[in-house]
């Protein structure tokens, strides 16, 4: 809860939107499992998983470490194919 006044790498406060391609999602339950795991990553503010396309749109406060996203998807039981 401390207020950082140092200038960040970007200096912007805008959210970062990243789309990932996830393999194995087939229904709403899968969407919920994937978005539930990804939403536990620090800095993530919104996750929208779509089983029909296999795409997961993640909105975060800063650029995410792909390995963290990959681990979360793996934890849910699916596979992160690539960053779309």
Closer residue to Cu ion in complex, CB, 61/74:
74
As measured in angstroms, the least distance from the Cβ of 71 to Cu ion is 20
CB of 25 to Cu ion, least distance (A): 6
Name 26's Cβ contacts closer than 8 Å, sequence gap at least 6.
51
Q: How far is the CB of 29 from Cu ion (least distance, A)?
A: 4
Contacts to Cu ion from residues 14-73, by CB under 5 A: 26-27, 29-30
Closest CA to 20 of 78, 83, 72, 63: 83
Q: Is 81 left (phi over 0), alpha (psi -120 to 50) or beta?
A: alpha
Which chain residues interact with Cu ion by CB under 5 A? 26-27, 29-30
């Amino acid at each position: 809860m401390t207020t950082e006044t140092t200038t960040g790498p970007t200096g912007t406060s805008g959210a970062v939107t990243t789309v990932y391609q996830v393999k194995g999602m087939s229904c709403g339950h899968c969407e919920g499992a994937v978005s539930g795991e990804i939403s536990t990553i620090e800095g993530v503010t919104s996750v929208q998983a779509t089983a029909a396309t296999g795409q997961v749109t993640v909105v975060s406060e800063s650029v995410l470490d792909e390995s963290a996203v990959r681990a979360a998807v793996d934890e849910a039981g699916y596979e992160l194919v690539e960053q779309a």
